[in-house]
Chains A and B, each alone.
Chain A
Amino acid sequence: MKIYVCCKQVPDVAMTIQIKDGKFISEGMNYVLNAYDASCVEEALVLKEKYGAEVTLVLIGDEAGKEALRKGLAMGADNAFHISDPALNNLGSQAAAKVLQAFFKGRDFDFILTGKQAQDSDMGLAGGILSGLLNLPYVTNAVGLDVQDKMIVVKRQGDEGVEVLHMPMPSLITCSNDMNDPRIPSLKGIMASKKKPMEQVSLTDLGLSADEVLKESQKSSLKSFGLPPARKAGAKIEGDAQTLVATLMEKLTKEAKVL
Chain B
Amino acid sequence: MNVEFNQDQKLMQQSAREFAEKFVKPVAKKLDDTQEFPVELIQRAAELGFMGVAIPEEYGGAGMDSLSYTIMMEEIARYCGSTSVILSVNNSLVCGPLLKYGTEEQKQKWLTPLAKGEKLGCYGLTEPNAGSDCAGTKTNAVDKGDHWLLNGAKIFITNGSHADTALVFANTDPGKGNKGISCFIVDMKSPGFSVKPMHGKMGIRASGLSELVFEDVKVPKENLLGELHKGFKIAMTTLDGGRIGIAAQAIGLARGAFEEALQYSKERVQFGQAISNFQAIQFMLSDMGMKIDAARLLTQKAAWMKDMGQNYNQQASAAKLYASEIATWVTNRAIQIHGGYGYTNEYNVERYFRDARVCEIYEGTSEIQRLVVAANLLGR
B44 to chain A minimum Cβ distance, whole angstroms, is 9
Instruction: With A191-B57, A191-B64 as known contacts, state yes or no: A186 contacts B15, CB within 8 Å.
Output: yes
Contacts of B53 in A (CB 8 A): 187
Digit string of A179-194 for contact with B (CB within 8 Å is 1, else 0)?
0000011111011011
Query: Which of B7, B19, B62, B68 contacts A70, CB < 8 Å?
Result: B7
Q: Are A187 and B12 in contact (CB under 8 A)?
A: yes
Taking the closest CB of chain B, its distance from the CB of A216, in whole angstroms, is 31
CA distance A216 to B1 in the complex (A): 42
Q: Which residues on A sit within 8 Å (CB–CB) of B344?
A: none
Within the complex, the shortest CB–CB distance from A74 to chain B, in Å, comes to 6
A67 and B7: CB pair below 8 A? yes
Interface centre among A70, A186, A193 (most CB of B within 10 A): A186
Cβ of B198 within 8 Å of any chain A Cβ, yes or no, is no
Is the C-beta of B215 less than 8 angstroms from some C-beta in chain A?
Answer: no
A32-B14, A191-B63, A191-B64 known; A186 vs B48 contact (CB < 8 Å): yes
Verify A188–B62 contact, CB threshold 8 A.
yes
Q: In the complex, A194 Cα to B8 Cα: how many Å?
A: 9
For the complex of A and B, 6 pairs with smallest distance between CB atoms: A187-B49, A187-B62, A186-B48, A190-B11, A184-B18, A186-B49
A191 to B12, CA, bound (A): 10
Give CA–CA (A70, B7) in the complex, Å.
Answer: 8
Asked if A71 is an interface residue, CB under 8 A from chain B, the answer is yes
SS class of chain B's interface: helix, strand, loop or mixed? helix
Interface residues on chain A, size class: 10 to 19
**What is the bound-complex CA distance between A118 and B12, given in angstroms?**
23
Check: A8 CB closer than 8 A to any chain B CB. no
CB of B11 within 8 A of CB of A188, answer no
B380 within 8 A of A: no
Interface residues of B in 103-153 (CB under 8 A from A): none
Q: How far is the CA of A67 from the CA of B14 in the complex (A)?
A: 11
Q: Does A66 contact B (CB under 8 A)?
A: yes
| B7 / chain A contacts, CB cutoff of 8 Å | 66-67, 70
In the assembled complex, the Cα of A19 lies from the Cα of B68 at a distance in Å of: 32
Report the Cα distance A66→B8, complex, angstroms.
12
B residues near A30, Cβ cutoff 8 Å = 14
Least CB distance, A59 to chain B, in whole angstroms: 14
Q: How many angstroms from the CA of A194 to the CA of B63 in the assembled complex?
A: 13
Contact, CB under 8 Å: B64 / A187: yes
Q: Min CB distance, B129 to chain A, in Å?
A: 39
Smallest CB-CB separation from B64: which chain A residue?
A187
Tell whether B36 is near chain A: CB-to-CB under 8 Å.
no
Selected contact of A186 from candidates B8, B22, B47, CB within 8 Å: B47
A207 CB → nearest B CB, Å: 30
A36 to B22: give the CA distance in the assembly, Å.
17
CB distance from B64 to the nearest CB of A (A): 6
Which residues of chain B in 1-44 are interfacial with respect to chain A, using CB atoms and an 8 Å cutoff?
7-8, 10-12, 14-15, 18-19, 22
Known interface pairs A66-B7, A190-B8, A194-B8; A185-B15 also in contact (CB < 8 Å):
yes
Identify 10 new A-B residue pairs, CB closer than 8 A, beyond the known A70-B11, A74-B11, A184-B18.
A30-B14, A66-B7, A67-B7, A185-B14, A186-B15, A187-B15, A187-B49, A187-B53, A190-B11, A191-B62
Tell me which residues from 24 to 38 in chain A have a Cβ below 8 Å from any Cβ of chain B.
Answer: 30, 32
Chain A residue contacts of B10, Cβ below 8 A: 67
Enumerate A152-208 residues with CB–CB distance to B below 8 Å: 184-188, 190-191, 193-194
Which single residue of chain A is at the shortest CB-CB distance from B9? A190
Question: Which of B14, B18, B49 touches A188 (beta carbons < 8 Å)?
Answer: B49
B252 to chain A, nearest CB (A): 16
B169 at the interface (CB under 8 A from A): no
Verify if B258 is at the interface (C-beta below 8 Å from A): no
The contact of A184 among B8, B15, B57, B68, by CB within 8 Å, is B15
Considering the complex, give the chain A residue whose CB is closest to the CB of B11: A190
Q: Is B312 an interface residue (CB 8 A)?
A: no
Does any Cβ of A come within 8 Å of B156's Cβ?
Answer: no
Closest CB-CB distance, A15 to chain B, in whole Å?
Answer: 11
A187 to B71, CA, bound (A): 13
Tell me which of A67, A71, A187, A194 has the highest count of chain B C-beta atoms within 10 A of its own C-beta.
A187
**How far is B32's CA from A125's CA once the two chains are assembled, in angstroms?**
46
* Bound Cα distance A185, B48 (Å): 7
Within 8 A of B (CB), among A58-109: 66-67, 70-71, 74
Chain A minimum-CB-distance residue to B72: A187
Give min CB distance, B289 to chain A, whole Å.
12
Alpha-carbon distance A30/B63, docked complex (angstroms): 25
Which residue from chain A places its CB closest to the CB of B52 in the assembled complex?
Answer: A187
Interface membership of B50, Cβ < 8 A:
yes
Chain A residue with Cβ nearest B23:
A184
A115 CB, min distance to chain B CBs, angstroms: 17
In whole angstroms, how far apart are the Cα atoms of A191 and B48 in the complex?
Answer: 12
Report the minimum CB–CB distance from B378 to chain A (whole Å).
40
> How far is A96 from B294 in the complex, measured between Cα atoms in Å?
42
Question: Bound state CA distance, A30 and B282, in angstroms?
Answer: 24
CB distance from B249 to the nearest CB of A (A): 18
